[in-house]
Structures are given as structure tokens and as C-alpha cells.
Amino acid sequence: MSGYPSEIATPPVAANLNAEFERVGLTNEFVARHVGVSERTLRRWRKGRIPAWHDLLKVADVFGREAHWFYIERDEADLARIAACQEVAA
């Protein structure tokens, strides 16, 4: 344990996680089951609590991302460009 509460760093993890849910269209139930956590825990992550690294690795795998992707700050324009590129590729 690092001694730092996970709520201190409300980095872009929650925003990026929520963007991935919108992009892919998965449910909390599906992701929670595949990651091995409760839906309540997943909802907390989506609201800003930072998941443990081993859990984030599993989340990233579900969405087809690298775990560090969730820590990169993005604005709405970035997220729109990402979604547009992925639609074209599909």
C-alpha cells in the first residue's frame, strides 16, 4: 500500500473508462464479470476511484487497450477523433 488514497489522483482513468464503455457498448455486468470484480466496484472506478494496476490490466484487456491508455489525458475532441477513426476502421 502506497499510503496515498486512490481518490487523490482523479486522473483521466474514469473519463477514459467511461469513454470506452460508450465506444464499445459493453455493460457494467459484462465488464465486472470478466474482470472479476463486483458491479459496485466497477461503478466506483467509473466515478473516479482508481483501480489497482492488476485490475486495470484486466479492464484494458476487455476493451482491447493497453493499461497505460487509461492514464492519458484527453479532451472531448481527442475522444471524438478516436471514435471516428475506429468507426472508419470497422
In the chain, where the domains are located: 13-89
Residue 8 φ then ψ, to 5° = -60, -45
CATH class of 13-89: mainly alpha
C-alpha cell at 43: 461503478
Q: Tell me the per-residue pLDDT of 15-71, one tens digit each, with 9 for 90 and over.
A: 999 999 998 999 999 999 999 999 999 999 999 999 999 999 999 999 999 999 999
3-state secondary structure of 77: helix
3-state secondary structure of 29: helix
C-alpha cell at 23: 465506444
Q: Tell me the per-residue pLDDT of 65-78, one tens digit each, with 9 for 90 and over.
A: 999 999 988 777 77
Confidence (pLDDT) at 1: 45
Distance from C-alpha of 68 to C-alpha of 3, rounded to nearest angstrom: 22
